[in-house]
Amino acid sequence: MRKSLVVGILPESKNTWERRAPLRPGDVAWLVKKKIPVEVASSSLRIYKDSQYLRSGAKIVSKFQKANLFVGIKEPPIDTLMPNSVYMIFSHTTKGQKYNRKLLAAFLKKKITLTDYEHITGSLGERLVYFGRYAGMCGMIDTLHVFGRKLKLQGIPNPFSDLKNAVYYGNYGSAKTALDRVVEKIQKKGLDKKLVPFVVGILGHGNVSRGAQEVLEHIGAVDIHPKDIALLARNCTPHKKTIYKLVFQREEKLRSKKGKNFYFEEYLNYPELFESNLDKFLPFLNVLINASYWDKRYPRLLPEAMLRKLYGAKPDFHLSVIGDLTCDIKGTIEITRRVTTPSEPAFVYDPVSRKISSDLSHSGIAVMAIDNLPCEFPKESSMEFAEQIRDYVYQIAAHGAINVTNHNALPSVIRNATVTQNGRLTRRFKYLKQTDS
């Protein structure tokens, strides 16, 4: 008779404001009812109390005893990894990230089967397990908060000056009440003439982008096409009570270095032949939100040199705040030099001196790059995430599957998301071999 695995719910220790949980007490009760034992590492930070998990049938432990299928969210500390077991997490290793090479090496050395949520995808490559929507929502709120603070320090009245960080509200319902007050201010007084037309540009089309757009739509943002933005800027007066949302398409973000037409297939095969096209639009934006995927094969959409050139050459340059929701250091947004935190949500980059400062009153462009954005709405994001992974956890546990890729009864989406097994990289992730030492 096949012996099921024992599920262990990991404590999240990446930062002090991480309160999310991969599974809810109700999910534990569901697993226990199906004869899957569950151990929960005691945590005072987690949004759900130990007592809730205990009542659901879990065993609360300070140190795992029998667990061999570990379910978490962020990367666990290397010294806590349990050999010959299964881990389901966001490992942040599969882009060859330097900061997690030691973690990848530890998974291999300890013969751990690593299943990475990021690679649980559908037939069209769409992510099936994600926190993206809440990253977008929280990131948009935090970016508007930074915008309001920055302008207030500059003495420019604006409707966002009283908006707080998303973590202050704790859930989207409370945040929406605050956003409704922003709308009331706009409808009553309008936007300062220095801010109109008020345009928020968005890079990306996935779950993060959709979450950010959801917030903008709540405050009544109107869609605008990039080809109309210059005309809009020439006639500001009618727009003092309107927020505009501009979502860039691929052919608007990029151009051929040789002046040829843009073809996405060519871009995928020869990305080095393309460059950013954003210099045509950046001067007209007040806020830029980056929610786009990037790795080092692709051109940056906002190179530092482009920003410096535009900043100095355009006296009416409007861009004030960038919300880099991807937090890729020197990635799509090259001036993202470091991640930020809810207590210090942004830094200012001065394109003239090329220096950064934590003082939002300094001249330059503020960059909001808070890592772990969904932490700011911990309960809602945990609920949505748990619904996505619960069945996968059950299937691995019920099959007793340490060697996940060898179990054809498991869904292919799980087998294809397995990065390491038996001390080796799986076939799909062999490209990481050069970074595993």
pLDDT, tens only, 363-372: 999 999 998 8
Residue written as tokens 């210059």? 230
Residue 229 resides in a domain: yes
Query: In this structure, are 54 and 82 located in the same domain?
Result: yes
Model confidence over 385-412: pLDDT tens digits? 999 999 999 999 999 989 999 999 999 9
pTM of the model: 0.89
Statement: residue 434 has pLDDT above 80:
no
Q: Report which of residues 290 and 193 the model is more confident about.
A: 290
Query: In this structure, are 403 and 317 located in the same domain?
Result: no
Statement: residue 196 has pLDDT above 60:
yes
- pLDDT tier at 233, thresholds 50, 70, 90: confident
Q: Report which of residues 236 and 351 the model is more confident about.
A: 351
- pLDDT value for 437: 47
Report yes or no: 244 and 232 within 8 Å, Cβ to Cβ.
yes
Query: In this structure, are 109 and 143 located in the same domain?
Result: no
Statement: residue 238 has pLDDT above 70:
no
Looking at the structure of the chain, the number of domains it has is: 2
SS3 95: coil
- pLDDT value for 184: 97
Statement: residue 95 has pLDDT above 90:
no
- Separation between Cα atoms, residue 27 and residue 382, nearest integer Å: 11
Within a 10 A sphere around the Cβ of 297, how many other Cβ atoms?
A: 8
- pLDDT value for 30: 98
State the CATH number of the domain containing residue 63: 3.40.50.720
Residue 199 resides in a domain: yes
Query: In this structure, are 315 and 382 located in the same domain?
Result: no
Percent of the chain with pLDDT over 70: 98
Statement: residue 436 has pLDDT above 60:
no
Report yes or no: 73 and 15 within 8 Å, Cβ to Cβ.
no
Least Cα distance to 189 among 167, 161, 170 occurs for 161
Statement: residue 235 has pLDDT above 90:
no
Query: In this structure, are 253 and 349 located in the same domain?
Result: yes
Percentages helix, strand, coil for the chain, rounded to the nearest 5? 40, 15, 45
**Mean pLDDT lowest for which of 30-34, 181-185, 208-212, 233-237?**
233-237
- pLDDT value for 167: 95
- pLDDT value for 39: 98
Statement: residue 2 has pLDDT above 80:
no
Percent of the chain with pLDDT over 90: 83
**122 DSSP assignment:** -
Query: In this structure, are 155 and 221 located in the same domain?
Result: yes
Query: In this structure, are 19 and 68 located in the same domain?
Result: yes
Instruction: Name the average pLDDT for the chain.
Output: 93
- Separation between Cα atoms, residue 395 and residue 294, nearest integer Å: 32
- pLDDT value for 252: 93
Model confidence over 111-130: pLDDT tens digits? 999 999 999 999 888 999 99
Residue 1 resides in a domain: no
Model confidence over 242-289: pLDDT tens digits? 999 999 999 999 999 998 899 999 999 999 999 999 999 999 999 999
